[in-house]
Amino acid sequence: MNKKLTLSIDERLISFAHGYSKDANSSLSGIIENFIFSLKKINTLEHNNFSHKTQQLIGVFKNSNLPSAKKMKEIFHEKHIN
């Protein structure tokens, strides 16, 4: 069952959030819910061997458009070998 949640957030951050949700073609509520769900998921995993800073990095690149390993090797070789 969904319930309403009221948040107090800086006005500039709200403006950014609305623009982000529009660009992502998603509702702001959905984005916040997914974010909190991700926090819960990370929190329930057993990462006891990782420092707090390392735990904060888990999932950072999950939705990023990173180049393939092959492309990254090519970029490395272009910068450092040639």
Direct distance between the N- and C-terminal alpha carbons of the chain, in angstroms, rounded to an integer: 59
Q: What is the pLDDT of residue 48?
A: 58
Q: What is the pLDDT of residue 58?
A: 77
Largest separation between any pair of C-alpha atoms in the chain: 59
Cα 28 from Cα 18, distance rounded (Å) = 7
pLDDT, tens digit only, all 82 positions of the chain: 889 989 999 999 999 999 999 999 999 999 999 998 888 877 766 555 677 788 788 778 788 887 888 988 888 888 888 6
- Report yes or no: 50 and 42 within 8 Å, Cβ to Cβ: no
